Amino acid sequence: MSDHPQIVTLRAARVVPVIRTHSAAHAATAVQWLRDAGLRIFEITMTIPDAPALIRALSAERDLLVGAGTVPDAATARACLDAGARFIVAPWIDASLAAPCRDAGAALMLGAMTPSEVRAALAAGADVVKVFPASSAGGPGHIRALRSVLPHVAFCPTGGVDAANLGAYLSAGAAFVGIGGALVDEARIGAGDRAAIVNAARAAIAAAKGVP
C-alpha cells in the first residue's frame, strides 16, 4: 500500500493541510501562508469554488504535492487529475475513483470508520484509509484499535486534529494526519491574520517532528 511515491512523501511530511474555504481567494491565501510556514502538501477540497483551477495553478509549482479532497465522482476525479492532482480523497467509499487514479498513477484515499468499512475501502482501491471524522469516532484510541486488527493499513485521521493531539494520533499508528480548521481558520484568513495561521502551522510541524 505504500508503493506510491506520493504516499512516501505524505508519510514523511506527516501533516496534510485540508484547504476548505468559502472562496477561492481565501483558499489561495491560506496556501500561501501555510507555504510560508514550511508546508508543501495541500488537499484542495471540491467545496471551494472552481477548485480544479486552484489545483492547476498550485501543481505548476514543482516543490508542492497537491491533491483533491471531497471528490464526489469519477468525472470530478479526472478533472482534478488532469489539472495536476497527485492524490484523490473522498471521506466515503467510492470504487469509481480507483480507475482514474490508477490511470494517472495517483494515490487514492477513501473514508472509513469501522474495520468492515476499512476492508471495503481497500477492496474499492484505496491506498490510504481516511478516518473521518476522527475526533468523534474516538480519537487516537480509535486509530490504535483499528491498527490492532489492520496493522498494515495506512490510516489518515482527519477531523478535529490539531497541534495538541496530532502527536497522539501518530503515536497511535496513523501514517499521517489531515488538519483542516486548526490550520485553515477562515475568520482569521478574512481578517488578514497571517501570523495566527503561520504560527498554527509551525506548531503542527513541530508537534509532528516530536514523534519518533
Enumerate the β-bridge partners of residue 165.
Answer: none
Set of cell numbers at residue 172: 497511535
Place domain 5-209 in its CATH homologous superfamily. Answer: Aldolase class I (3.20.20.70)
State pLDDT tens for residues 100-116: 999 999 999 999 999 99
The pLDDT assigned to 2 comes to 47
pTM for the whole structure: 0.96
Grid cell listed for 112: 472509513
Among positive and negative, which fits the CA dihedral 56, 60, 61, 65?
A: positive
Residue spans of alpha helices (H) in the chain: 5-13, 24-37, 51-59, 74-82, 98-104, 115-123, 134-137, 139-149, 166-171, 186-190, 194-209
Cβ distance 37 to 202 under 8 Å? yes
Which 8-state DSSP code applies to residue 191?
Answer: T
Report domain extents, the chain.
5-209
Dig out the grid coordinates for 14 from the structure. Answer: 506527516
Per-residue pLDDT tens digits of the chain, which is 212 residues long: 446 899 999 999 999 999 999 999 999 999 999 999 999 999 999 999 999 999 999 999 999 999 999 999 999 999 999 999 999 999 999 999 999 999 999 999 999 999 999 999 999 999 999 999 999 999 999 999 999 999 999 999 999 999 999 999 999 999 999 999 999 999 999 999 999 999 999 999 999 999 98
pLDDT in tens, 172-206: 999 999 999 999 999 999 999 999 999 999 999 99
The Cβ of residue 188 has, within 10 Å, a number of other Cβ atoms equal to: 16
